[in-house]
Structure 1
Amino acid sequence: MKKLLIVGMATAVLMGSTLAAAATDAEKAIEYRQGVFNTIKWNFGPMAGMVKGKIDFDAAEFARRADAVAALATMPGEGFIEGSGVGDTGAKPAIWENKEKFDEGMDALAKNAAALAVAAKSGDMDIIKPAFGQLGKTCKGCHDDFREKD
């Protein structure tokens, strides 16, 4: 699992560096953070389906995805550089106006994703659901404060 995650990240970095050759730093930052968030979403969706009972619960698959989200959750913050709030982004100016609160949200994302990964190892949905719910609340809080509505 770790090998797959490392290969995926390396591929993303290589692709990003090739595409970013002609891009500005702000454009690269936007691309980077959107890629990380999309990868989190890719893994979060099936877990949500399992928690809601729409997908059969597979403890090993859930744990694998939770581990991936925990690793990825430490990454997007560095993509919010000065000047990257304009262009093809849903980032609100509030990110840079209240950077301390935003950074706290990024820290909470990493912390709660790590807690979900630990809970997932139990294989017990009664332990997983509260941790999943807390991570979902963390995501929603930042989306409400710092992300333009789609």
Structure 2
Amino acid sequence: MRRFALFTLPAALVLGALSIAQADTAGAVADRQAYFKSLGQQAKKMGELAKSFDPAAAKAQAAQLAPLLAKDFKTIFPAGTSAKEIPGDNEAKPEIWANFDDFLKKEAAFKAAGETLVAAAQGTDGKAFAAAMGQMGGTCKACHDAYRLK
């Protein structure tokens, strides 16, 4: 009986740790999806404003976008959360982690473009706002092209 306990206790601990790790990675995927859904909604609203500029509405939308730019992608893209490892409703290519430095450069470019957009929203120049929106959209596309499944 003692031998049985000596073998089953470590096995149970390992299996428990694996279950927790799987829950953490699945949680990261859910967090990532919620974040990008929110970001997409903001981008859509700001894209509409780029077509028909309203300075007050742009400021209001920028106030909602600004906190999203503070998100650290390392927290929502931990290792082990690619579509290969967690299939289903997950579009993250494994290439993210194979090229993580490049991925983080794309994150930095996105955030810089987002800050430019937030700054442009504080003014009254609709063309500058539209150009900043286009720049931010370009950073999204660059990352999606490289690191998101179609």
Percent identity for Structure 1 against Structure 2: 32
Equivalent-residue separation in structure 1 for 2:42 and 2:141 (angstroms): 16
Instruction: State the AA in 2 paired with 1:67.
Output: A
Matched, 1:59 2:55: yes
Which consecutive residues of structure 1, in runs of 5 or more, have no partner in the other structure?
1-20
TM-score by length of 2: 0.77
TM-score by length of 1: 0.77
Q: What is the Cα deviation at residue 135 of structure 1? A: 0.3
- Check the 8 A contact 1:37/1:76 in 2, yes or no: no
- Check the 8 A contact 2:51/2:130 in 1, yes or no: no
In structure 2, the CA distance between the partners of 1:26 and 1:83, relative to structure 1 (3 Å rule), is same
Which residue number corresponds to residue 92 of structure 2?
A: 91
Matched, 1:113 2:110: no
- Check the 8 A contact 1:44/1:65 in 2, yes or no: no
RMSD: 1.7
Equivalent in 46, 69, 74 of residue 73 of structure 1: 69
How many residue pairs get aligned? The number is 125
Q: What is the Cα deviation at residue 76 of structure 1? A: 5.3
Runs of 4+ displaced beyond 4 Å: none
- Tell me the secondary structure at the aligned position of residue 24 of structure 1: helix
